Amino acid sequence: MTRRFLALGDSYTIGEGVTAADRWPMQLARALRADGVGIDDPRIIATTGWTTDELQAALDQAAPAPGFDLVTLLIGVNNQYRGRPLAEYLQQFEALLTCAITLAAGRTQRVIVLSIPDWGATPFAATSGRDLTQISEQIDAFNQEARMACQHRDVSFIDVTSASRQHGAEPAMLVDDGLHPSAAMYTLWTMLAYPTARNALA
Q: Tell me what the mean pLDDT of segment 148-171 comes to.
A: 97
Q: Cα separation of 71 and 150, whole Å?
A: 13
- What is residue 47's predicted lDDT score, i.e. its pLDDT? 98
Contact status, residue 102 vs residue 109, Cβ threshold 8 Å: no
Contact status, residue 197 vs residue 70, Cβ threshold 8 Å: yes
- What is residue 189's predicted lDDT score, i.e. its pLDDT? 98
For 86-103, the pLDDT digits (tens) are 999 999 999 999 999 999
For 102-141, the pLDDT digits (tens) are 999 999 999 999 999 999 999 999 999 999 999 999 999 9
CATH number of the domain encompassing residue 48: 3.40.50.1110
Q: Tell me what the mean pLDDT of segment 40-65 comes to.
A: 97
Mean pLDDT of the chain: 97
Cβ count near 11 (within 10 Å): 20
Contacts of 57 (CB under 8 A, 6+ apart): none
Domain containing 184 equals 5-201
Amino acid at 178: G
pLDDT confidence bin for 202, thresholds 50/70/90? confident
Q: How far is CA 36 from CA 13, 23, 28, 81, 143, in A?
A: 24, 20, 13, 39, 32
Residue 157 phi/psi, 5-degree rounding, is -120, 120
- Report how far Cα 96 is from the mean position of its chain's Cα atoms: 12
Contacts of 48 (CB under 8 A, 6+ apart): 10, 11, 14, 16
Q: Cα separation of 114 and 134, whole Å?
A: 21
What's the domain count of the chain?
1
Give percent above pLDDT 70 in the chain: 100
1, pLDDT greater than 90: no
For 66-83, the pLDDT digits (tens) are 999 999 999 999 999 999
- What is residue 198's predicted lDDT score, i.e. its pLDDT? 97
Contact status, residue 116 vs residue 77, Cβ threshold 8 Å: yes
Q: Cα separation of 43 and 8, whole Å?
A: 9
For 3-28, the pLDDT digits (tens) are 999 999 999 999 999 999 999 999 99
